[in-house]
Amino acid sequence: MTIEPFSTNDIAPFLKLAAAENWVAEPWEFEFLLSRFPQGCLAARADNGTTAGFVTSLRHERSGWIGNLIVSPEYRGQGIGERLFSTALEALRSAGVETFWLTASEKGKSLYEKYGFSSIDTIVRWVGTGSQRHSPPDHQSEWNTSDSPVSGIDSRAWGDRRDALLAATVGRGRLLFDESGFAVIQSCGSARQIGPFSAVEVGRAEHIFETALRTVPIGTRIYLDAPASNRAALGLFNRKRLRIAGTNELMFAGTKPGYRPEYVYGLATMGSCG
């Protein structure tokens, strides 16, 4: 078994494997990750050339994320996942990352704890439907990472600048924002994901969320991944009759982040980048 670079040819096999696990993932995400931090995107190859597993990672300014760690069922229990994980972790460490993030299933927590990761929150997946009855106005906006309130709000929430991730999601989605909050509505197959979504004031978050719902056609499924410790988000999504579809642990290692979950209403991707 060898650990090799994740290539563009691996995207389709990964998505097939992820679909079997009911993961929500889109091809754009891997194209973005491979363009930003290719040394942390890896595949495990068996001696016969079969791809046994994958992992991706992404470096921001001082922090980084590890995601998309998956091993094909026939190769599980052989330590392949740990080899992929430790190699990605070392790639981030070598790039100068100070804080390491990931989201973990209950099954995966013990591996990450072995490498010094601790739980800092629970991420709740919310599912609902849109409420658009008429064609919405065009909410696309010009956006510059150097002076946008979007970057400032996001960095207050996560304790680090994540401009490349924000630019990628805004570039493919519909951005709603003002000086105290923003949300991006992204296509996710036939569904929509609302995220990244952050606000520094609860009333503003509710207004943005209601506007977002009105841009998604009635009956179209929406997804959000939000921290459980944001009690305002829990109340908002319950009032809007979204349902909880699952949870994962948000974990970190290294320098404790300046994480402000009360500002976070939706992650940028469904588990792999934060």
Q: How far apart are the first and last CA of the chain?
A: 30
Every domain of the chain with CATH number 3.40.630.90 lies at 124-266
Q: What is the pLDDT of residue 50?
A: 87
Listing DSSP states for 220-267 in one string gives -EEEEEEETT-HHHHHHHHHTT-EEEEEEEEEEEESPP---GGGEEE-
Is it true that the peptide bond before 196 is cis, omega within 30 degrees of 0?
Answer: yes
Neighbours of 85 (CB within 10 A): 22
Q: What is the pLDDT of residue 139?
A: 47
Domain 2-97, CATH homologous superfamily name and number: Gcn5-related N-acetyltransferase (GNAT) (3.40.630.30)
Measured between alpha carbons, how far is residue 163 from residues 47, 143, 246 in Å? 39, 11, 28
Q: What is the pLDDT of residue 270?
A: 75
The pTM of the full predicted model, rounded to 2 decimals, is 0.92
What CATH number does the domain located at 124-266 have?
3.40.630.90
Q: What is the pLDDT of residue 104?
A: 94
Q: What is the pLDDT of residue 134?
A: 59
- Measure the CA–CA gap between 46 and 29, rounded to whole angstroms: 25
Residue 264 makes CB contacts below 8 A (sequence gap 6+) with 157, 158, 197, 198, 226, 227, 230, 233
Dihedral sign computed on CA atoms, order 127, 29, 25, 217: positive
The amino acid at 8: T
Structure tokens at 77: 């229990």
The amino acid at 123: I
Mean pLDDT, 10 residues at a time, the chain of 274 residues = 93 90 87 96 91 95 96 93 97 98 92 97 96 58 60 96 95 91 93 96 94 93 96 96 96 97 94 81
